[in-house]
Amino acid sequence: MNITLANRMNSFQPSIFSELALYKKQKLAEGAPIIDLSIGSPDLPPPSFITRTLSEEVLKPNQYGYTMTGTKEFHDAVTAFYKKHHQVDLTDNQEVTLVMGSQDGLVHFPMVVANPGDMILVPDPGYTAYTAGIAMADAKPFLMPLKKENHFLPDLSAIPEQIAKQAKLMILNFPGNPVPALADREYFAEVVAFAKKHHILVLHDFAYSELYFEGKKPISFLSIDGAKDVGVEISSFSKNYNLAGSRIGYVAGKKEIIQAFNRLKSNLDYGVFLPIQKAAIQALKNGEEFCQSSRKVYEERRDLLVNGLNEIGWEVKKPDAGMFIWAEIPKGWTSLDFTYALIDKANVVVIPGQAFGPNGEGFVRIALVQDVQLLRKAIASIKAANILA
């Protein structure tokens, strides 16, 4: 029997992530001492007060029904967190909603606001879930280049007027993945003005909000005057609290959009397991000290890796936030060839920049997901590989 796949499946080809995972598995089978700095999955555990909450709650027999949505307690915790940490006032039952991790929200959100053929402004390079969500909505991406000379911020003045008129949604991400850039209040105010002028909704991906260094705290988009009129912000507990496998996050912001997103989600799933919601509530209420200690771990890794790579002749910049190094590669290489050279000659796995969009060419993304001992080994191995000349 012949089965014909939907046309949209043409947008979902095997990714470089899968290709690299298979190649890494092959190298491991051959006995290579692989150091994996590719996937941004935290290697550290959640704090004990979170795991203790989970372990207590899963033993209660009344925790196993459908939750359908976020509980009032969860919404209240998000609301209180935003008030305390970002000075943003939210109405918990109208301006906050639960998602199964930020990926869930990012992939489904375009279907709420975009019709087939509508234009969506998306950063390039950008997180791969953005293009997946655009494809699911059968919308069209317009790539906003993230360039070094613009501090890796989209140049709004470079968006053609005709494109701006057609656009329904703009996706932003600060601190970013793969580019760990930060936006200041002036830039976000420019975004609000641009969105109002062209009637464009803004979706700000704030998944790395608690991972920052040297006191350079990321700014919530919703804290900008007028931002709640034009946009929403999405965040998760995956990276900030090392709960990646638990799949929980939230979207907050413009009331009408949150309510519309709730309508969509009510037809897609039955909510997040109640013990996980309760653990996330504890993270929001009591996670400040843990986040401070977590930042110290990532900052130590950042400093060791960046300083070490610079010492061996690979000039890379220190990020102010996030869990990645966005590293410009030596001249004469493509990002894909350089990635495979690192695996074959140095046993180090990174992600080629072109996996995140055409403007990612010339860079690789390095994740800070190994301890300092392994990072030292990675630096020594890259030096010995002699591929930086």
Q: What is the pLDDT of residues 362-376, one digit of tens each?
A: 999 999 999 999 999
pLDDT exceeds 80 at position 80: yes
The per-residue pLDDT for range 163-212, each reduced to its tens digit, is: 999 999 999 999 999 999 999 999 999 999 999 999 999 999 999 999 99
Confidence of residue 353 (pLDDT cuts 50, 70, 90): very high
Domain count, the chain: 2
pLDDT at 162 > cutoff 90: yes
Q: Are residues 157 and 82 in the same domain?
A: yes
pLDDT tens by residue, 286-306? 999 999 999 999 999 999 999
233 within domain boundaries? yes
Q: Quick one: tokens of 303?
A: 């400093």
Q: Are residues 66 and 151 in the same domain?
A: yes
Domain containing 120 equals: 48-287
What's this model's pTM, rounded to 2 decimal places?
A: 0.96
370 and 296 part of one domain: yes
pLDDT at 1: 87
CA pair distance 152, 319, nearest whole angstrom: 12
Is residue 1 situated within a structural domain? no
In DSSP notation, 303-316 reads HHHHHHHHHTT---
The CATH number that applies at residue 377 is: 3.90.1150.10
Q: For residue 216, tell me if it sits in a domain.
A: yes
Residue 13 confidence (pLDDT) above 90: no
Q: Identify whether the C-beta of residue 291 lies closer than 8 Å to the C-beta of residue 210.
A: yes
| pLDDT at residue 200, rounded to an integer | 98
Q: Which of 6-20, 67-81, 252-266 has the lowest mean pLDDT?
A: 6-20
Span between the terminal Cα atoms of the chain, in Å:
55
Residue 10's pLDDT band, with cuts at 50, 70 and 90, is: confident
Residue 209 three-state SS: coil
Domain end, chosen from 287, 304, 322, is at 287
Final residue in a domain of this structure, among 248, 263, 287: 287
Q: With respect to residue 389, please indicate whether it lies within any of the assigned structural domains.
A: no
For residue 184, being part of any structural domain is answered with: yes
Q: Is the pLDDT of residue 24 over 80?
A: yes
Give residue 15's pLDDT: 83
